[in-house]
Amino acid sequence: MFKATGRSSWGLGPGRADGIAEIERRAAERGLPPLRWPEPWPGNSLMCMRAAVFAGKPFAREAFRVHFVDGRTLDDPASIALAARRAGLDPDEALDATQDPAIKDALRATTDRALTLGAFGVPTVVVDGEVIWGDDRLEEAVR
């Protein structure tokens, strides 16, 4: 998505420290566990995204926990296997799926659809044609 839009993560820019502090504040406000930022962050999550296409929401939820509660990178097969195990899935199947051409194609198609709808970063939701971006606007999206 970054390549297609010519953007990069805010986590690589001058506002990184302020952005991290704001996210930590909102996480605490929402009763989430303390965040442990993996190093490096942001990193390459392509393999994990493929596993999420294969395994769905339970895996994605656990992958975020592995990433931001355990502080592990998501480009590591061991982290993906851990998320799969915690989601009640076979870790080997999840890892094998990351190399499946059909899964790769499905992720490309999902990304292309998101771009067509106007997404340019995460989290983005589209409600009644309106693009709503940012975790600070999720409540607005629900309304």
Q: Residue with structure tokens 């709503």?
A: 132
For 16, the token pair is 């990184």
For residues 122 and 115, is the Cβ–Cβ distance under 8 A? no
Q: What is the pLDDT of residue 68?
A: 96
Candidates 3.40.640.10, 3.40.30.10, 1.10.1740.10, 1.10.10.60; CATH matching 2-142: 3.40.30.10
Model pTM score:
0.88
**Tokens for 33?**
């566990």
How far apart are the two ends of the chain, measured CA to CA in Å? 26
pLDDT tens digit sequence for 112-139: 999 999 888 888 888 888 889 888 888 8
Give the Cβ contact number of residue 11 at 10 Å.
15
